[in-house]
Amino acid sequence: MADFNGTVVIQNNPVTEWERYGETLLPSAEIGERGFFELEKEERAEGGYYRAKFKIRGDREFLADMLLNGLGRAVNIYTEDGTGIWEGYIDEMALDVGSATYRTSLRDMGNAVWMRFRVRGTTTTERSPVQTDDDSIARYGRKEFILSGGELEDTDTGDQPVADYLGRFGWPTPSPTQIRPERDLSPDPSIAVDCKGWFETLNWCVYNQTVSTDADLASGIVETIITDTDVAQFVKSYAITSNSTSIGKEYDADRKGGDILKDVARLGDSRNSRFLVYMTDGRKFVYEEAAPPDEP
Query: Distances from the Cα of 98 to the Cαs of 19, 34, 35, 82, in angstroms?
Result: 30, 18, 19, 35
Q: How many CA atoms lie within 13 A of 52 on its CB side?
A: 27
Q: What percent of the chain has pLDDT over 90?
A: 73
257-266 and 218-226 helices cross at what angle (nearest 10)? 160
pLDDT of residue 293: 67
As a whole number, mean pLDDT of residues 42-60 equals 96
Going by C-alpha positions, the residue among 36, 45, 31, 49 that lies closest to residue 6 is 36
Alpha-carbon distance 90 to 72, whole Å? 5
Q: What is the mean pLDDT of residues 222-246?
A: 97
Task: Give 29 or 6, the one with higher predicted confidence.
Answer: 6
Average pLDDT over residues 244-268: 93
pLDDT in tens, 148-200: 877 666 667 778 899 999 999 999 999 988 887 777 778 889 999 999 999 99
What does the pLDDT average to over 38-49?
A: 96
Instruction: Report how far residue 288's alpha carbon sits from residue 96's, in angstroms, rounded to the nearest whole number.
Output: 43
**pLDDT, mean of residues 219-225:** 96
Residue 155 has a pLDDT of 67
* Domain range summary for the chain, segments of one domain joined by +: 7-107+172-197, 113-169, 204-288
**Residues near 156 by Cβ (< 8 Å), separated by ≥ 6?**
none
Report the distance separating Cα 5 and Cα 224, nearest Å.
41
At 55, the amino acid letter reads K
Q: Would you state the pLDDT for residue 212?
A: 85
Share of the chain above pLDDT 70, in %: 96
**Fold annotation for 204-288:** Phage tail protein beta-alpha-beta fold (3.55.50)
CB-based contact 24:7 (threshold 8 Å): yes
Query: How high is the pLDDT of residue 213?
Result: 85
Q: What is the largest CA-CA distance in the chain?
A: 67
Q: What is the pLDDT of residue 17?
A: 95
| Contact criterion met (CB below 8 Å) for 47 and 278 | yes
> What local confidence, expressed as pLDDT, does residue 206 receive?
96
pLDDT at 280: 97
Given a contact cutoff of 8 angstroms between Cβ atoms, the answer to whether 111 and 142 are in contact is: yes
Average pLDDT for 104-132: 88
Query: Does the pLDDT at position 222 exceed 70?
Result: yes
Q: Name the pTM for this structure.
A: 0.93
pLDDT for 49 equals 98
In the chain, beta strands by DSSP E: 7-11, 22-25, 35-44, 47-57, 74-78, 84-96, 100-105, 112-119, 125-127, 131-132, 144-152, 175-179, 190-197, 215-217, 237-240, 246-248, 275-280, 284-289
The size of the chain, in residues, is 296
Q: What pLDDT was estimated at residue 296?
A: 53
